[in-house]
Structure 1
Amino acid sequence: MIAIVGADAVHRVAGLPGEAAPVGLTLALGRLRSLGVTGLRIALPAPGHPLGLSGPPEFNARALEAEEAVVCHGAAFGLVPEVFEAGPQGDVHVEVVWHCLPVREAPPADVPSLGEAERELAEALREATEVLTRLDVAGSGPVAEAALAAYRARAEAGREVLAPGYPQRAVRVLELAQRVGMLVSLAYENGPGGAVSASEMAGRGAALRPVERTARRAQVAAYNAVVEERERGVR
């Protein structure tokens, strides 16, 4: 359960069939299982890219607003988080309410296989490095170096390792996807680098968006690998 809630203080699920009020996460997971849910898929949609979603439009709209969602496997439900802060000043904590909504039983949008994701990531990593170098972001000083050092420290601490039972390829794909995502974040956040005009800054965004999209697709493929294998009957 700690792996699910992280450092958040409270997680509740609202809108579950058979429950008149929001319930705790443990009860909610048991209820979902009784309703036929056998697995959970992650979705990481962004404007213009409903990654991992299957509809209907109402669910997709809420998931796009939150930029994340969970889609159940085995029963037509999905969960969209609403995150807010609660508590008095000096003792503020994060609470999350997951809204349970009906979803369409259809393949999730634009999720690649692990093999496809790994191949795409190799090319995306090259593209990201080329863009960073061209825009003078990769060598833009101690801020970039510190950010990369922090990423390496997290990776070495095993923070990106998936739960037991995931294929090793999924672990490899997730780690590479997160590395690509870090490089993209550096390009967006670490100052203008060599891009000194509005047109050059627009060019930076145009160059990086496909790379960021590839990284998000790969993360979803890695996180969902166990459910996808189960669905295909792979053991």
Structure 2
Amino acid sequence: MPLTPAQNPSSGPSADPFAEPRSARLTAWGNSLLAGFAPPDHVVEEVVGADERHRVVGLPGDAEGEQHALSWALGRLRVLGVKGLRLALPSEGHPLGLTGPAAFNGAALAVGEAVLAVGVPVGLVPEIEVYGPPGDQSATVLWRCHEVRDAPPADVPSLPEAERELADGLREATALLSRLDVAGAGPEALRALDQYRRRGHSKPLAPGYPPRAVRVLESARQVSALLAIASGGHGAAVSAGEMAARAAALTPLRRTARRAQVAAYNALVDERGE
């Protein structure tokens, strides 16, 4: 069965804040391929990652149910006229990066992510199935193509705008952790903080992306990690009312981080003026 956001290990509000959504990987490496910065085999390797395999279904002109390997599908999208890819990270009440119609938006909202093609009205939504016992699981991904509207994506900021918003958001998230006394909240919170501090600086984007996009994405991940710790029940807030107040305080910061992620992953397309 396809995963819901709560089950999807790289999507949705319960996701690992350090994990990269599969749609983000496809956007970044697909853009690098389309711009001539990365070879096809390496792109597929990076997109698939630790998954068992990725397939694509529903490409324009295909017979119903016809599936293709990811490498073939990326080549086909280029032939069809796709010039780039854009990321969408929608959540309930926030259709971030979506363009419609309702069928596509609903499918993307169900998993919390999608990829939209630039130049051809196609959107891809991952359907993820996980196999095996806990601790020894593998996943397969079926990218289902949908027809999308040729319209501006919802609520996506420019990269400079996202960077300005994040500077304020990072200060607010850090201050919130201090107010919640997360560091004194017990071993679970301390482990979460230690994981965040020790993770180091990843190489989060594919070749060809501007340094500013890399910087914005790293800041967005920092904010997301801090918010995940703050929203995990750690710290001084214990009553239902206090937890509700905490959730209300975190919502705008989480939205800021997600907007910045989308702006960073879309930066290569935006820079090329597609």
TM-score, normalized by length of structure 1? Answer: 0.91
Specify whether residues 22 and 177 from structure 1 end up closer, same or farther in structure 2 by C-alpha distance, changes over 3 A only.
Answer: same
Shift of 1:57: 1.3
Counterpart amino acid of residue 146 in structure 1: R
Residue correspondence of structure 1 range 1-235 to structure 2 within 5 A? 1-20=44-63, 21-86=66-131, 92-156=137-201, 158-160=202-204, 162-189=205-232, 191-231=233-273
1:154-176 Cα distance to aligned partner (Å, 9 max, x none): 333x243x112111110110000
Q: Distance in 2 between matches of 1:91 and 1:204?
A: 35
Counterpart amino acid of residue 254 in structure 2: E
Which secondary structure does the structure 2 equivalent of 1:54 belong to? coil
* Matched-pair contact (CA < 8 Å) for 2:88–2:97: yes
Q: Distance in 2 between matches of 1:145 and 1:108?
A: 39
1:26-66 Cα distance to aligned partner (Å, 9 max, x none): 11111111111011111100000000111111111110001
* Matched-pair contact (CA < 8 Å) for 1:12–1:96: yes
Question: Identity over the aligned pairs, expressed in percent?
Answer: 62
1:187-215 Cα distance to aligned partner (Å, 9 max, x none): 112x3421121111000000001000000
Q: Distance in 2 between matches of 1:108 and 1:159?
A: 26
Q: Distance in 1 between matches of 2:102 and 2:210?
A: 33
Which secondary structure does the structure 2 equivalent of 1:163 belong to? coil
Counterpart amino acid of residue 178 in structure 2: T
Specify whether residues 87 and 126 from structure 1 end up closer, same or farther in structure 2 by C-alpha distance, changes over 3 A only.
Answer: closer
Specify whether residues 89 and 141 from structure 1 end up closer, same or farther in structure 2 by C-alpha distance, changes over 3 A only.
Answer: closer
* Matched-pair contact (CA < 8 Å) for 1:131–1:204: no
Which secondary structure does the structure 1 equivalent of 2:126 belong to? strand
| Worse-matched range after superposition: 82-91 or 71-80 | 82-91
Runs (5+) with no aligned partner, structure 2: 1-43
Q: How many residues align?
A: 229
* Matched-pair contact (CA < 8 Å) for 2:185–2:234: no
Q: CA RMSD in A?
A: 2.0
Specify whether residues 89 and 110 from structure 1 end up closer, same or farther in structure 2 by C-alpha distance, changes over 3 A only.
Answer: closer
1:110-154 Cα distance to aligned partner (Å, 9 max, x none): 111111111101111111122222222244344334333333443
Specify whether residues 145 and 91 from structure 1 end up closer, same or farther in structure 2 by C-alpha distance, changes over 3 A only.
Answer: closer
Runs (5+) with no aligned partner, structure 1: none
